[in-house]
Structure 1
């Protein structure tokens, strides 16, 4: 008889996995642990989750398959008894300014129904309360809540002509296709300065609606219409959310000013819709309330007619509050949510699901959470198991690892030195194991013996932003301050408002660097050019031949490494390019070797291996040493930046400041949760980086939930006591040992427990 009470993996070799086979118990919580880069995600996400999604997708019609995300078959011999997977990852919810917490969670649909049923006066059915519906949206701002103006003084240089690059925006340069739409129109003297244009010429240049030209010059595209600059700019960069909008973000921010819509005052809906109220509030007033206040408002509604709408609505809002998101409002735009907040909203969707016998795959649910909130996440994970599901969790946090029925530890190290199973068993057995994780969990914790006490302080006075109202704090220069408090308490608001107009401040966050799959670690560190020069000099081949974005690109896949075949109604078929075998380069480039290594071999080296190869070339080796200093020695040089986690991105950004050539001093470095994605054993590596910055007379400020980091602080600022309107107060500032005496601080409670364990 086939054993079906376990998920059986045979011979997994995805990424760095070394032919891994294991049995994962069903209907239990299995936590996957191990150093950063050890292979946890390769096993759980790139193998188990990807195969479950791929097999499920194959059951749909080819037309539907074409609409779904495509998953390649992972490199594994066989997976048996694999249930349907529900994947709860940390990808930000994204969307655009039309997407809010209310719309993404479907809660806004119930709110609209409620206002259409019992709001007075009656103005229409639920669809009219949507700011994405032309019947309901404010006409001035088209339901966005803000209007954007183009600052002509920023867009144009009036002292220049069109030939001299008068349009100060990258994609309107004279040699670009957009720029040529003005130069080739025949409507203007291309050598005339803009300041000398007549009023009529300027109006034609800026405000002409799309028009067919009567007698265009021969170089004008035959089917093209002429369109005034303002119309074209607005259509290209303001009305649409597209790739270019992100690409030119800094230029758009320079040219475009945004202000609250003067008609709806940010409420997004037209005046007729806003006239409909329940107990004095219109629908936008309600969605602007923090979740806890929204619950209190609903509790006051006495209507038998609306009871069947209010009860499930309350349940959804109470779930959001319970999971620690009580400080959010339903009107909060989803692009402003952190990865941790996005993940918790996804988790909420499954709380009341009647489905069972699924496998829930959860990626570091502790991210962005204070230890106080982690207890609630743990309860939700346990409730998913109790409903008859299997739960697989990738995690570093000791408080989450503790609830595991079964633990799988990967390692022993990272990258090529990882990918093996170093432990399988219970949490208790893990504690006494010889693994990095076991040792880290056994370690006793103490506060820093001799915190830096610098009398020279930075003063932030009378700071107000979001729930922070008139807070003043001080923190020591040339020391490490850790800012603590539950998620939503106001930590980030205090620090970002306090430091935003200072010149010597560097914010290092986890936001992705604008990167495509053609950019890698070397391009980000600005040393790919040096590597190509090195190969050119050693082999005598042209430098551009060593670029897969230029002459060296494989002629078949054009430097992508893969071939994509579009099959009409069937999903696109992707396969490794059979000419370059995925290396991206021409055959003759791959034959040009230095000490036995081709350029493709170099890109597949880890940072550690590359340091050894380039040890006599400091221009290349030094930035790689800095990358190693942040704990990223396991990454390969050719790894594309769009595959990095938030914590890895932050550490790549940090590495730029750790090289001798980039040595900085008298700077303030602010890090937002730098321990994200870090194993407890990797935290000392990060601490060394911070101490290096402090030794160079810099100040380090961490916004952090990790208890190990708090024990290493020179100074602590604790904000709280809770989130949203119940937070925003300064509970403590000073030496860490004094925080332990503050009764109303939940941080103090958990730190006391951590030191006693």
Structure 2
């Protein structure tokens, strides 16, 4: 037993069998075992939950009065536990403002960097924008003007002219000695007594242009200015009547005349300060030479050449979450709700006369289609050619309009004027969607923020870089001496956080990538990088399969990062199936021997060599090679039936052509960010759905998709939840809960009480508990803390009324049946083949340990995906169906992968075709065909590195997949560890 360790005694959470174990302090422990053996129960529901509970105990009594009723982990004792941080594989972010940059705090440091050392450039002339001080002006003039050269210090004579005019005649009387007898000083009206009870209103005079000039001259003379300067000439100020408004154009008031010499610096500073005060922030210095040089200065933050004012850089200016910095049009979201042309023209493969403009294909807008035909005839635009094949000019004319014809946008603008009618509002809503903001172009910031640059790039441009490119940008960033002193600490934090993001294998993501679009694995690794950036020590980190979504090439970097987290003084607990992660562990806990009720025991505890030598461990048998996932003796041959995608150019795809064979298992491989999901989800899946009329969303850019007639249906089996509420569970998803309710309703006691199948549903009134509405829990609002769910006191979590629970089938009520594992239920319902056969499919895909009524919210992404797989297997309708799987081995032990591959074979035998995105080498080696993308991620990816069998891919030098597959097979065949 380790000297310093977290000691757990008597853990009985879920299926754990009263186990005791230790987790060494400041070491990395890997928890492994078959799916459902109790790994998550040990790591998250016991160790992490106890760490959280003890933290809660440190809160105030007010908070604890709500939290005391929270379930304590069923464990006898936990000693030495540290504050716990859970990093799960689920992406729970739904905030549309949250990005990779904001989550990792990189964006906060970027805002500070741009506010402190950013340079604003005029959007009109492109020159640098800055504000001057009297001292900086003096230093600049004495540097740029040759010693001894005479120069004038000036400010625009028209400054303040617009405000002049009030009190004109009063000024005139004082200067010219013309007494305005009997005039009121405020109103300028004639003398004489006012009538009793009346008061003269004090209204400002609306001065004429001449009066304004007169008043302005008076004001200058009163303040001691006696000379004007215009076009190289000095003009003495005389009588008020000598000047008109045009006289002040390009005319300056002379403040001082000096000769360039260091001794005059202070006098120059004072004179420039007067210019800034009197000239409303403007000052001009002009040399007294044959060819005079003029220098403009301003203490306002404005362009010196065109006078455009700009916002002073400050951190809030660069935040799209702050109203001050956010784009006014989109409020910082980067997109607006407007006309979505993908909805207006859902199928670019249709010609105009075939109804390519979808709203005009409706009978009520046939007149618009007639106008379109007439317009196309006039402009010689072909109406029999698919819209997508028309020239850009023709497409633009149809959409934007031309000459007198308003086009598609004109039509919708006209419809907007009719939206006071309900049916028009409904019509318009069908064609609205999120489109790029027309003002910021998706940058989310106001124009003034986008005018500021560091290293020649604006903040949105830096955030749009792939993280590895952003890292290169900041590593090579050159700043001046003063700027470097200001930004040194800021740049250190930015570079450090970017390095962590590269190390966790998400270097292909951009900093402006929306957090809500990340996969579970990406979200987890970003959270890991964020925690590393915080430099927290003395904590317990609990991670759930951090290698998900990583190519074997990137796994080594992840392991180094976890070791770094350990080495700075943290304890790391990792739930993993990856063999390389086990080899890198200081301590291993192998849980088993099987899943569900047959699991929950510690099979082995110790180091990796000890695990290899353990005879009782199923994990060890796979690592030793005694049990293995075998390559097929004969791979399925590439037949004529295939899909061909040509010219795929979405995101980082480099206009590639891909051949996808049908009737076999095809794997899409490549490093993270190489374009696998773009190719499969955006191009192949969306493209096929679109051509079959089942898709209204975005379709990736490609030239042509051939062979779609060979596929009757395409089904995406991903890791999205099977339901987002606790009411969803495995049996409702695979459609057997109806049969279970019918079994209970058919019992003699149920019929005697007049109960039908609806009474055995927790979704419908009648049989469900009405206190918790069939949830089994009630929610306590915690105000400033997260809401807490507590077991319903009425039904004790069973979800049903007592009279429903009194009905039993073979000795069990409906709640007890829903608490059975799938494997137990197969035996229990052996006399009901309709139920047992479908449950057997769940068992065959490795989910025999799940409970029938287990909430969908507690299922991992891998479990949800296999439930979907089981649902399709149970339908037996796979003929000419293309199944697409996205990393189906997530959360699977070696033994579970064997079962998954058997299920894949069953789908193919039923007439289906499989397309699988995968990094797991055990699946890749069994594939019939591989499409390897790369060679790198991000902009350096998107190419087809190779296509062919695994043996052919291993012969391609540029293929990382081939390289690691070759090493893996060599080690497997030699059974080395």
**Same fold per superposition (TM over 0.5):** yes
2:323 aligns with one of 122, 134, 141: 134
- Whether 1:264 aligns to 2:440 is yes
In structure 1, how many angstroms separate the alpha carbons of the residues matched to 2:618 and 2:832?
A: 34
1:46-445 alignment runs, 5 A limit: 46-62=45-61, 72-121=71-120, 123=311, 124-149=313-338, 203-204=419-420, 256-298=432-474, 299-304=476-481, 305=483, 306-433=487-614, 434-443=616-625
In structure 2, how many angstroms separate the alpha carbons of the residues matched to 1:110 and 1:67?
A: 38
- Which residue in 2 is equivalent to 1:623? 838
**Pair 650,309 (structure 1): closer, same or farther in 2 beyond 3 Å:** same
In structure 1, how many angstroms separate the alpha carbons of the residues matched to 2:781 and 2:533?
A: 39
In structure 1, how many angstroms separate the alpha carbons of the residues matched to 2:488 and 2:478?
A: 9
Deviates more, 1:346-355 or 1:515-524: 346-355
The C-alpha deviation readout for 1:62-86, integer Å capped at 9, x for no partner, is 5677999996311112111111112
Once the 2 structures are TM-superposed, how far is the Cα of residue 568 of structure 1 from its aligned partner? 7.6
Deviates more, 1:559-568 or 1:528-537: 559-568
CA contact 1:100–1:331 (8 Å) conserved in 2: yes
Gaps of 5+ in 1: 161-198, 208-227, 235-251
**Pair 556,470 (structure 1): closer, same or farther in 2 beyond 3 Å:** closer
The C-alpha deviation readout for 1:710-730, integer Å capped at 9, x for no partner, is 111111111112211122211
- Which residue in 2 is equivalent to 1:460? 645
Once the 2 structures are TM-superposed, how far is the Cα of residue 517 of structure 1 from its aligned partner? 0.9
The C-alpha deviation readout for 1:390-439, integer Å capped at 9, x for no partner, is 21111011111111222111111111111111111221121122211111
For the residue of structure 2 that corresponds to 1:639, the secondary structure is coil
CA contact 1:54–1:72 (8 Å) conserved in 2: no
For the residue of structure 2 that corresponds to 1:474, the secondary structure is strand
For the residue of structure 1 that corresponds to 2:687, the secondary structure is coil
- Which residue in 1 is equivalent to 2:669? 484
For the residue of structure 2 that corresponds to 1:277, the secondary structure is strand
CA contact 1:361–1:393 (8 Å) conserved in 2: yes
Q: How many aligned positions are there? A: 678
- Which residue in 2 is equivalent to 1:698? 912
Gaps of 5+ in 2: 121-129, 131-310, 345-357, 365-414, 693-712, 972-977
Once the 2 structures are TM-superposed, how far is the Cα of residue 587 of structure 1 from its aligned partner? 1.2
- Whether 1:471 aligns to 2:688 is no
Once the 2 structures are TM-superposed, how far is the Cα of residue 362 of structure 1 from its aligned partner? 1.2
In structure 2, how many angstroms separate the alpha carbons of the residues matched to 1:13 and 1:353?
A: 34
CA contact 1:461–1:472 (8 Å) conserved in 2: yes
CA contact 2:826–2:839 (8 Å) conserved in 1: yes
Q: TM-score, normalised by structure 2?
A: 0.66
CA contact 2:69–2:790 (8 Å) conserved in 1: no
**Pair 3,141 (structure 1): closer, same or farther in 2 beyond 3 Å:** closer
CA contact 1:412–1:420 (8 Å) conserved in 2: yes
In structure 2, how many angstroms separate the alpha carbons of the residues matched to 1:69 and 1:461?
A: 61
CA contact 2:733–2:871 (8 Å) conserved in 1: no
In structure 1, how many angstroms separate the alpha carbons of the residues matched to 2:910 and 2:782?
A: 58
CA contact 2:559–2:581 (8 Å) conserved in 1: yes
For the residue of structure 2 that corresponds to 1:611, the secondary structure is helix
- Which residue in 1 is equivalent to 2:802? 587
In structure 2, how many angstroms separate the alpha carbons of the residues matched to 1:93 and 1:553?
A: 30
For the residue of structure 1 that corresponds to 2:958, the secondary structure is coil
- Which residue in 2 is equivalent to 1:501? 687
Pick the structure with greater CA Rg.
2
Once the 2 structures are TM-superposed, how far is the Cα of residue 60 of structure 1 from its aligned partner? 2.2
For the residue of structure 2 that corresponds to 1:719, the secondary structure is strand
For the residue of structure 2 that corresponds to 1:407, the secondary structure is strand
**Pair 749,669 (structure 1): closer, same or farther in 2 beyond 3 Å:** same
- Which residue in 1 is equivalent to 2:880? 666
**Pair 371,294 (structure 1): closer, same or farther in 2 beyond 3 Å:** same
- Which residue in 1 is equivalent to 2:208? none
For the residue of structure 2 that corresponds to 1:147, the secondary structure is strand
In structure 2, how many angstroms separate the alpha carbons of the residues matched to 1:570 and 1:707?
A: 44
The C-alpha deviation readout for 1:73-116, integer Å capped at 9, x for no partner, is 11112111111112221121513221111111111111111222
Q: TM-score, normalised by structure 1?
A: 0.84
Once the 2 structures are TM-superposed, how far is the Cα of residue 277 of structure 1 from its aligned partner? 2.3
For the residue of structure 2 that corresponds to 1:56, the secondary structure is helix
For the residue of structure 1 that corresponds to 2:825, the secondary structure is helix
**Pair 355,101 (structure 1): closer, same or farther in 2 beyond 3 Å:** closer
In structure 2, how many angstroms separate the alpha carbons of the residues matched to 1:536 and 1:412?
A: 38
For the residue of structure 2 that corresponds to 1:469, the secondary structure is coil
Once the 2 structures are TM-superposed, how far is the Cα of residue 479 of structure 1 from its aligned partner? 0.7
- Which residue in 2 is equivalent to 1:657? 872
1:501-580 alignment runs, 5 A limit: 501-502=687-688, 503=692, 504-538=713-747, 539-540=750-751, 541-549=755-763, 550-564=765-779, 575-580=790-795
In structure 2, how many angstroms separate the alpha carbons of the residues matched to 1:333 and 1:351?
A: 21
**Pair 594,465 (structure 1): closer, same or farther in 2 beyond 3 Å:** same
The C-alpha deviation readout for 1:170-227, integer Å capped at 9, x for no partner, is xxxxxxxxxxxxxxxxxxxxxxxxxxxxx999654559xxxxxxxxxxxxxxxxxxxx
Once the 2 structures are TM-superposed, how far is the Cα of residue 279 of structure 1 from its aligned partner? 3.9
